[in-house]
Amino acid sequence: MSHQQTGTVVIGGGQAGLAVGHHLGRRGLPFVVLDENERIGDAWRKRWDSLRLFTPGRYNGLPGRRFPGPPSSYPTKDEAAAYLEAYAREFELPVRIGVRVERLSKVGDAFEVTCRGDTLLAENVVVATGPYHNPRIPSFAPELDENIVQLHSCEYRDPSQIREGGVLVVGAGNSGAEIAIELARHHPTWLSGRDTGQEPTRAGSPADHLFTPLMWFMATRVLTVTTPWGRKVRDHFLDPPRGIPLGRVRRKDFAAAGIERVPRMTGVRNGLPVLEDGRVLDVSNVVWCTGFTPAYDWIDLSLHTRNGIPLNDRGVVESCPGLYFVGLPFLHSLSSALLGGVGRDAEHIVDHIPSARVAHV
């Protein structure tokens, strides 16, 4: 096993990790970015085929490079992946791909990052793995009939995975709504879950060109943890986690597509889904669009958490100097986990790295 030493290890090579790398690189600081995927941007490539970003191109740029293409268009997930790959190449970021971090601990004053076959020692560690780790699936899912196809949204790619018969999509946020619309072209489809609301204008509509700049200003400057409105919105979305209001899909689109909106799924009876109103649905497929739970069990440090997220002050873990988090929902603002919003948090974190403060003087 080899041992290497560097100033900062950034764990995760998605948009958050690359944004941190950009700011570290600008200040000439030694660092390395570790990512478990085989290509930069794979976290996007692995999503379902028809996925598009929920924000237009003009709001999807990382520090130092605008997102290519029409500023009002909604990029595909593959365009997002290609952008991240080009970003790392343009700024010559030292990203090591195919490297899975198995353990983060401390040895004396240094952090020890253990990977398969390698150990890195670092003065600072930035965890940029995001919040989407383990699929959140109800405990009663195994009780469904074995002939019912079950897929979580992270496993869903396209309608060819769905067997003949009806589909119940569980979870009515943006992912569930868009997947349900797609599946309804081929199968009888039910959409289960709480109403998450919808934005005042449809994404991409003429009115949206006026509304979106206002919303982006609100998401980045007003709805932050430093304002009463921001804290109220944060608590609404994160405690417990809830879906964000619908953007491209509107409530009326469900009926137009032949989708039946039904109450929450609460259990299983005789191998079939049971709804909150007592109805039993005879379906052949269930797609779980129920989100994810964070998983930081590989971090072998004494950290206090809230909803599975280590407690921090805009990414700075005061109880463990030198440890930082970035890319988490509402780290500072409503935009903190978005492609175009993560850059401000990344800069804030790098500003708090002691060697970065010296280099910035």
Of the candidates 18, 83, 122, the one whose C-alpha atom is nearest the C-alpha of residue 353 is 122
Q: Name the strand (E) or helix (H) holding 93.
A: none
Bridge partners, residue 253, by sequence? none
Please give the pLDDT value at position 240: 67
What per-residue confidence (pLDDT) applies to 360?
45
Q: Give residue 72's pLDDT.
A: 86
- What is the per-residue pLDDT across 186-208, written as a single tens digit (0 to 9) for each? 999 999 999 888 776 666 677 67
Average pLDDT of span 55-73: 94
Please, what is the average pLDDT of the chain? 93
The pTM assigned to this predicted structure is: 0.94
Contact of 191 with 263, CB cutoff 8 Å: no
**Beta strands 110-115 and 118-127: pairing type?**
antiparallel
Write down the pLDDT at residue 112: 98
Share of the chain above pLDDT 90, in %: 81
The pLDDT value recorded for residue 45 is: 98
What one-character-per-residue DSSP string does 159-227 give? GGGSPSS-EEEE--SHHHHHHHHHHTTTS-EEEES----B-SS-TTSTTHHHHHHHHHHIIIIISBTTS
Cα separation, 124 vs 141, whole angstroms = 41
Q: Among 225-229, 242-246, 290-294, 348-352, name the one with the lowest average pLDDT.
A: 242-246
Task: Name 274's bridge partners.
Answer: 267, 280
Asked whether residue 182 carries a pLDDT value surpassing 90, the answer given is yes
**Cα torsion 239, 240, 241, 242: sign:** negative
Classify domain 2-133+294-360 by CATH number: 3.50.50.60
Mean pLDDT across the stretch 113-132?
94
Tokens coding 320: 């463990």
Domain residue ranges in the chain: 2-133+294-360, 137-288
pLDDT grade for 2, boundaries at 50, 70 and 90: low
Do the domains 2-133+294-360 and 137-288 sit in the same CATH topology, yes or no?
A: yes
**Exposed e or buried b for every residue in 61-88, given b needs 16+ CB within 10 A?**
bbbeeebebeeeebbbbebbbbbbbebb
CATH fold group of domain 137-288: FAD/NAD(P)-binding domain (3.50.50)
